[in-house]
Every structure is written in structure tokens, then in C-alpha cells.
Amino acid sequence: MQTADIQSRWLNFFGDRGHTVVPSASLVSDDPTLLFTVAGMVPFVPYLTGLVPAPYPRATSVQKCIRTLDIEEVGKTPRHGTFFQMNGNFSFGDYFKEQAISYAWELLTSSEADGGFGLQEKDLWVTVYKDDDEAIRLWKQVAGLPDERIQRLDMDTNYWSTGQPGPAGPCSEIFFDRGPAYGADGGPATDDDRYVEIWNLVFMQYLRGEGSGKNFEILGELPKKNIDTGMGMERLAFLTQGVENMYEIDQVRPVLDRASEISGRRYGANHDDDVRMRVIADHVRSSLMLMSDGVRPSNEGRGYILRRLMRRAIRAMRLLGVDAPSFSELFPASRDAMKAAYPEVGTEFDRISRLALGEEETFLRTLASGTSILDLAVATTQKTGSTQLAGDTAFQLHDTFGFPIDLTLEMAEEAGLSVDRDAFDTLMSEQRAMAKADAKAKKTALADLSVYGDFRALGETVFTGYELLKTDSTILGLIVDGASVDRAVVGDIAEVILAETALYPESGGQEADAGSIVGKGFDLEVLDVQRPIKGLVSHRVQVRSGEVGVGDAATSVVDPVWRHAAAQAHSATHLIHAALRQTLGSDAHQAGSYNKAGYMRLDFNWNQPLSPATRSEIENIANNAILENLEVTTRILPLAEAKSLGAMALFGEKYGDTVRVVEIGGPWSLELCAGTHVSRSAEVGLINLVGESSIGSTSRRIESLVGFDAFKDLATERSIVSQLTSSLKTPREQLPERISDLVTNLKAAEKRIAQYEAAELAARVPALVSRVSHVGAVRLISENVGTVKTTDELRSLATTVRERLGSEAAVVALAADVSGKPAVIVATNDEARKSGVRAGALAKLASGILGGGGGGKDDLAQGGGSDLTAIDTALQAISANVAG
């Protein structure tokens, strides 16, 4: 049974039984506590917990998920994958335990001809929470399961809660027995690979109180009981397709086979090679899916996870003997396997491919440079006589240079060294402690947002700001320090929940409106406006005067100057985007933006700097569009219709069934956007492109000033040019040539001055050499040379004097005033070092007396401090130390 068939059977089964079929949400989760959608239930958590009213009584989905906590297990077990699909059916206060069990058993055991999965009843086991006698009774009643195939397990595996006070309940898991060839008898309780968990049923029926771990109180039953289930698509696929593991199913195997062909290694011939091919197949698919949802490789957050997956795949290819680039063949194989289920991987593949190939090229260079760094570390370790490479060295290679630890282990072993894994693992554990949110999706998702639930239950916040700058409303709630309160007084910082608001909440790259909320007897300054949960707007305010309470009439007032300038900047962003694509082509697609009053920036996919001519062309096109005074219109359309018109969506953004389309000049600029805009392009005023830079190997950033801020910046430049023309007595158009001539003359003068200063220093050498003294067998020059311009000059003087003293044991210690602070340079020759004199130790000694620090190598070292009056004392200490 192909994976696409499993998906259609699932959705058809539950759709026919009254469930709303909900499309997969993005891998980029809306939940602020999560990097990714890590479980099928994550998009439904607000409904399951009651934070947001459910828009339907029952739902079903096939949800894309990413989970990387067990990344080291990928390829080693039959079921661990970083990307997976979770088939779910959900009930929000509708059906409960008996119906959920009945649906699961019917779908699993019905014949394929009848739309089921055709599993044999004899192969299925279930686990239940140890005290859930009701579930045991139902499994016997519905499925006719005997006692020996129903196992009671403890809270750590068969109980769900958020980890906070709120909904909780027991779980029941369904397992498939692969047979005695795969492990020992004993059922799922043996925790053996023989028994594969395929479906988890969560019965959300209780309200839990405070506590942690297993220690919390059940306060009673929920008034509305929910069902949350999840079936692993890949797990069922490898069981029904008759293959050994998830890496061999129809959506994954093509990449594995392509890696085998490229490397010339046969799958199934060598265990280590098999694991590497599975890692490649899994990670390439995961990377493809992440990039199709707008994630780009980077050094932080989601981009770091993507980069790690891609680099592990490159590393695995290297271990298969492939040093050349291979993504150009691996990614198309994954695209072809996935596009039937997810068409976007096909339509967006050009963009995805550019990102993948650019990342591969960058990492292959990293491998080359990392190898050089590792070679140096190995040589240093061997020189000290140690047989173990330091753990912090291995961690630095991994963390700073992206050099995989297994590559470090392999190369160190080739050089006869081990790696201090304990130290490395400790450092890695400290780093991982900050990234465990993925593993606790069900325990943490939205738990800290529960304070908004009661307000959201009253309905969505109505945003009137597209048409109005002032709206009368009612205060539905006040929140201070995370808790709901009845009143707020002067000086308080609070969150205000209104039924309606004209104030724009930060979203779509646009900063929140400035403004105020006023009413009878109070005035609130708006500090920020956000959407903490879907459909609810929260205003962060400071009470400037009076006292405000829940239920009070209130008016939201937008600062009109701020709003107009913000609208100018947002419309300018669309103009720059259109100009960018007109200049560079459709490949230059927006990848993020930020705009506020007077300023905008736009990130876009591109892998090389823009020339000055290209920057000017983009700026000219955008400003010409302003001059043309193009009409700006907005329409609310179904998403499919908007896309059919050519409206561009920002990768990674979430869109509902209906979207707002912003048009500037009709088809000239057509984008999905919820931001505020001017009514005609001339209102933007002026765009002044002030910056263009790299933000990654495949991404660039344009920054512009907009409107009056753009004019002020140009006026400042005009003033500077005017001053230059006056000072240099040169017409404006001749300034570049005149300044170039001045710079050339200045460099020539600086070169002559440097020659004079070098000659002056050289002239001081004979006098210094003549003042040499003998301290035992060592000849010593210890002098305060007065004032010099730089430490480099002092160092040059010291080394020149050392050379003039010949091959007999000699030490030169020179001190000087450098820019008002003392500096000391100590130089020794070979014979002095054989006598035990070390320049680094002498410099450190002198620096301590000077009130600073210093040190260096045995032959040459420097130091300094803050006390010029201590120079002579420091030199005397050097002389005494040499004598000793």
C-alpha cells in the first residue's frame, strides 16, 4: 500500500464520518514555544485546551512534522525519522473513548477492499494507562481483544498533560507485532523493536492541578472531554509495504537508492554503509520539506536545524566515499517521491535547489578549512606527547566551524589519537539543554498562554484599523504580570483586551501602531500591540492617568503621523520587491521583511552582492512607480483565487482560507498582505536605498529610508557635499576626482613619513648597543627610550638591537610612552633562552609593575599598563630577574 493511498484512506474514512478535513499546517509552528510542528496535535492544541473555541466539533488531518531530539538514532532503528507525517483524528467535546476506539479498530482491521488498512487482528496489541479500567473494558467490548494482548503501563508512557494545571488524561497505544523473527515475546511492555507503535489515542478527560512529574492532583472531570489521536504514517507504510523500516518506503527509498548508485556501495552489504544511506535519505527529505515551508539554512533557530540536517547528509556521503557535490542528484530524487503528496515541493523546487546547492558548496569548503584546523590540533597534541585530542577542541570544531564530531573522531583515529568524548559530551549537553522544547511538545504547547483563553472565548478581536483611526469599544480584560485583574492604576504596565481596536498589531513584518487608549477618567499610552493567540489582540499599555477597569468604555486612538509613515514604509517594501524582481528576475523572491515609520528592509533569495548599477536601477524603478502615482487597492479573496491571479505569498507565512490581496498598479505589484498601505503610490514620497548586504550564503538584505526620513538623509548628504565643494574649492561634479587625488597624495606622504621614522629609529640603534651591560653570561640592554608612536615601532627597535648584539646570549628590554601609556618589549636570542631566560616571563613581570598585563613567546613578548612613572622600576625588575 503506497503512502499516498494510506493518506487518502485515512482522510476518506474520517471525512465520511463527519470529520472536517483540515490541511496540514506548516512545519514552522505558530506556537511560540516551538521551533517546528513536532506532533500532529500541535495545530489543534488551542482547541484541545479550550484556549480558542474549536471551529468544528471533530476534525482529521495528515500533519507534516519535524522532530530532531532523536537525531542520533536515525538510520539505526526501523522507525526513527526527523520528518514524519502524523495522521490524526480529533474530537472537541463531541465523541469520546468508545467511539475513538471503535474508529481505530475499524480502520485498522477492515479489508483494503472496504477502505481499511487490512491488518490482521492477531497482530495487534494495545497498552492502556494502568488505572483506566474503562479503556480495558471497551477494548474487549469493541475489538474482542483477550486480556493477554492488553497491557497496563504507567503514567510515564500512557498519560498526557501539558505539564501545567489544565487538561489531562490517559492514553491507549496500538502496536503491531512483527513476529518472533524481530525479537522476544512479551508484548509492547518489552520495549522491543518487534512491537511497533502505530497509533496513540489520548483521552483528554480530567482537570489536573499543580505539581510536577507524576505528582499532581486530579481536580475532577472536564465539562467537555476531547479526543486527540495520532497514527504514524511512515510506520504503517513500512508494515503494509512489506519492507524492513521507514527508510525503505516509497517516499524515502528513491533517495537511498540514488545515494547507493552515486557511491557505488550496495545497500544491504554493510551495516555501517546502510545506516549512512538511511541518514542521507531521511535528512534530504526533511531538508526538502523544511525549505518548501520557507526555512533557510542559517546559524540559529530553525535555520540551524536545517543546516545540521543537510551537513549530516553531506558527511554521510563523504563516509560513503563521495567527496564531490551530490545534492544535485539527491534532492530531485526526493522531490519526485514527495510531490504527489505535497505539490509545492515541485513548484518551489528551483528555489529549494538553489538553497541546497549553495549550502552544499559552502559546507564542502568548511570541510576543507575544518580539516586544516583539525590537522593543526592533531599535530599540536602529538607534539605534547598526548594521545587524546581535547574535548573543547572537538566542540569548537563542531560548534564554530560546523565540523561533525564523527568526522573529528575518524580523522583523529587515523592519526593515532582518541578524542576526550566526556568533555565534548558535557559541552554538547549544556548546549542541548537550551533546545529541548521539541521533545516536550505535548507538555508545553501554549500552556503559558492560558490566561488569554477566557477572553478568546468571547470571540475574535475585531480590527477596524483599515478604515478607521479611532474606534469605540469595551475593555474585556486586563492582565498585569501574567494574571487577569479587574483594575489598573497610574504607573501600571498592563495588557488591555478590547472587543474592537483600530490599533494595528505587529505582524507581516510591520511594527505595531503607536497610539493610545482613552476613556472616562483614564489615559493609556500604547507601548505595543500583539496577537498572543489566533484571533485575539492584546495592547500593552502604561496607565498615564486615572484608573481603568474591566467593562469600562474605551476608545483606541491611532497616532495618525505614525500610521501614515508606517503605511508609506510598507507600500515601499512592495515597490522595492517588485523592482527587485523586475531587475533580477523571479528568482529574487522575498524571504522576509521589516518596516516601521520611515524605514524598511527586505530580505531576498540571492547569492551575490548587487552592483552599484543594479542598486541604482532598483531604486530608480521603485521611485518611478511613486511618480506614476499608481493606485493601491485591497481585496479579500479565497486563497486559491488569489494565487491563481499571481499574488505572491511569503514563504513560511500562514494564510487562512481567505486572504487580503494588495495591488499596486494592478498586476505590477500583487501580493498577499495584511499590513496597512497608502491609497496611491505617490503618497510614499521617496525611497532612498541606503544599504545592501549579505545575511547568509544565499540571502541578501536591502535597507531603505522612506518618505521624509529619506529626504532628511539626502539633505544631510547634500550639506556634506556643499561643505566639501567649499573647502576644496572644487565643483560638485569634480569632487570624486579631486578626493581621489588627495587620497593618493596622502598615501604617498604617509609612506615618506614612515621612511623618515624608520630611519630615525635606525639611527638610535648604535647608541642603544653601546650601552650594553653584562649580567653574568648574558648581555643586557634595559632602556627607557622615551616616546614612540606605536608599539610596532618599539618592537622593531628591540628586534633590530637584538640582531646587532650577535650570537652571544643577549636580552633586549625596551620601554616607552606610547600614546600616554607605558609599553615594554622584551627580545631574547637563542643562547639567552638556552640559559633559561624567557621573554614572555620578563614581559609579564614588567607589566605587573606597570599596572597591566603582558606575555608572549620565549623569543619575543610585550606588555603594558597604565603607570608611566613605573617604567624605570619595571626595567630594574627585568635586570634583577636576568641577574638571578
The Cα 752–Cα 806 span in angstroms is: 31
The answer to the question of whether 80 is labelled as a binding residue is no
Name the residue among 421, 427, 416, 411 with its Cα closest to residue 371: 411
The Cα 277–Cα 796 span in angstroms is: 58
Q: Name the grid cell of 72.
A: 542520533
Residue type, 108: L
Residues in CB range of 383: below 8 A, 6 or more apart: none
The answer to the question of whether 539 is labelled as a binding residue is no
Q: How far is residue 830 from each of residues 765, 803, 807, measured CA to CA in Å?
A: 21, 11, 8
The answer to the question of whether 65 is labelled as a binding residue is no
The Cα 580–Cα 621 span in angstroms is: 9
Name the residue among 639, 631, 600, 642 with its Cα closest to residue 618: 600
Q: Name the grid cell of 519.
A: 476613556
First to last CA, the chain: 87
Name the residue among 812, 801, 807 with its Cα closest to residue 765: 801
The Cα 233–Cα 241 span in angstroms is: 12
Q: What is the DSSP string of 446-514?
A: TGGGGGGHHHHTT-PPEE-TTT-SEEEEEEEEEEETTEEESEEETT-EEEEEESEE-SPPSBTTBPPPP
Residues in CB range of 450: below 8 A, 6 or more apart: 49, 51, 164, 166
Residues in CB range of 872: below 8 A, 6 or more apart: 784
Q: Name the grid cell of 433.
A: 539543554
Which H, E and C letters describe 404-459, residue by residue?
CHHHHHHHHHHCCCEECHHHHHHHHHHHHHHHCHHHHHHHHCCHHHHHHHHHHCCC
Q: Name the grid cell of 735.
A: 569632487
Cβ burial, residue 41 (10 Å; 0-12/13-18/19+)? buried
**Grid cell 511618480 in the structure block, residue:** 627
**Residue 176 bridge partners (DSSP):** 124, 196
Q: Name the grid cell of 169.
A: 488524561
DSSP 3-state of 82:
coil
Q: How far is residue 133 from each of residues 159, 248, 728, measured CA to CA in Å?
A: 14, 39, 94
Q: How far is residue 765 from each of residues 628, 783, 797, measured CA to CA in Å?
A: 73, 12, 7
Quote the radius of gyration of the chain (alpha carbons, Å). 35
The answer to the question of whether 283 is labelled as a binding residue is no
Q: Compute the Cα dihedral for 262, 267, 270, 271 and give only its sign.
A: positive
Residues in CB range of 726: below 8 A, 6 or more apart: none
Residue type, 405: I
Name the residue among 570, 578, 566 with its Cα closest to residue 670: 578
**What number of other Cβ atoms are within 10 A of residue 722's Cβ?**
11
Helix or strand (DSSP H, E) at 383: helix 349-383
**Residue 228 bridge partners (DSSP):** 90, 202
DSSP 3-state of 530:
strand
Q: Compute the Cα dihedral for 377, 379, 384, 386 and give only its sign.
A: positive
- Annotated binding residues, written as ranges, equal 570, 574, 673, 677
- Annotated binding residues for Zn(2+), written as ranges, equal 570, 574, 673, 677
